Amino acid sequence: MKDETPARARRAEPQPEPVLDTSGDSDEPAFSWMTPAGTGTGSSAADSFDESPAEARGESAGGGKATTPVSTGTAAAGSTATAAAAPEARKAAQPESRADRKAAEAAVADAEPASLRGSSPVFKEPLPTSALQVRPPEEEVERRNAQRESAANAKPVAPRLMQVLLAIFFPLILLILAVRAVTSPLFLWVEYNRPGFPGDGYGFSTDDRMTYGSYAVDYLSNWSGPRYLGDLVHRSGDKLFKDGEVSHMADVKLVILSTFGAGVLLVLVSLIAVLYLRKRSTGGVRRGLFAGSIITLVLILGLGSLAVLGWQQFFTEFHRIFFADGSWTFSLDDTLIRLFPGQFWVDAGIVIAGLVLLTALVTLILTWPTRRRRGLVKDEPAAADQAAGQE
């Protein structure tokens, strides 16, 4: 039987604990690829794998620490020097901030010889706005200036159109209003009672004319049918108006109502033009009415001259425009001729022309382009001050 005591003793011997003292360790990385760039170390990857014997690396054959005496103070001093030199090498190789890099670049630029600073062969791309410094030809400059001035002086189309419409509609509105004033019982009463108006040679008194004539005038402005006049009778029981007279009055009524309807439409459009010009064009209403009054005066003077030179011809041509031939001629004993003789139409034409002419003259005076209305009064004090300064 063998004695196993020595073996058990050997197995029971405690194993040596690993040395945990890190005072001798350095800050150098274990592998070369972990070394920061620019540290100046020239070791290669092969140097990290030392193939020297285990004894030279300080290791024992059994995997433990070598028993070769190494000075702990020397190793610590070397590792401390190495750790202190590493950050200084990094700082020298790479600046810590962007400002340092800019300062290094400026130092390099200052170190460049002055003779080479202005004659650098490096290509520089021109600025995007360098083409603006090239002046175009004089003809092109003048053409552009002319277009710019014309665009600045050009007025909007809408205000000018409104002014033209106001100038055209103004004489038509005045003419329609004057016609409406004539086709009224008031004008009829004034005409029958004025001195010198011819009487009726067939028996109508002034009261009879006023009564029967009022029916005819009212028919022109109401919505009644032809029977409004066709059913009227004399004291004797006979019809007051013949069928031809009633038919002609129906034609006149159609023309009158159409004219009045057109007048209402023209007034509405003119009011819209006035409101638009008051907001968008300073003095636009005045200019439109001024032009309209001039057009009105020209038309009235022209038509008045034709009427004075040949009233019968003027009256005949006027009726031919609106009525068919033969539908507006009657005998002297017909009711329409007895109520509305030739003098009545002469007086009506004079009143219409007078009302239109008077209104146009007043409008012309009120819209005359004086300096104050054109806004030139503000320049007068400045001119007076300038003249006083020159004296």
Q: pLDDT tier at 130 (50, 70, 90 boundaries)?
A: low
Residue 65: strand, helix, or coil? strand
Find out whether 303 and 175 touch, Cβ atoms under 8 Å: no
* Residue 380 exposed, middle or buried by CB count within 10 Å (0-12, 13-18, 19+): exposed
Give the mean model confidence (pLDDT) for residues 270-279.
93
- 18-32 in b/e form (b: 16+ CB < 10 A) is eeeeeeeeeebeeeb
Residue 288 banded pLDDT, cuts 50, 70, 90: very high
User: pLDDT > 70: what percent of the chain?
Assistant: 62
Whole-number Å distance between alpha carbons of 2 and 7:
11
pLDDT at 68 exceeding the cut of 70: no
Domain boundaries in the chain?
157-371
Instruction: Summarize pLDDT for 235-261 with one digit per residue, the tens.
Output: 878 899 999 999 999 999 999 999 999
Question: Under the phi-then-psi rule, with left for phi > 0, alpha for psi from -120 to 50, and beta for the rest, what region is 357?
Answer: alpha
Burial class (CB in 10 A: 0-12, 13-18, 19+), 163: buried
pLDDT tens, residue by residue, 172-183: 999 999 999 999
Residue 276 has pLDDT above 90, yes or no: yes
pLDDT at 67 over 50: no
pLDDT bracket for residue 23 (50, 70, 90): low
Q: Which of 164, 186, 182, 185 has the alpha carbon at shortest distance from 174?
A: 182
Give me the half-sphere count of Cα atoms (radius 13 Å) on the Cβ side of residue 287: 14
Would the pLDDT of 102 be above 80? no
- Quick one: pLDDT at residue 281? 84
- Would you say 220 and 212 are in contact if contact means Cβ atoms under 8 Å apart? no
Write out the DSSP string of 186-252.
HHHHHHHHSTT----TTS--HHHHHHHHHHHHHHHHS---THHHHT-B-TTSSBSS-HHHHHHHHHH
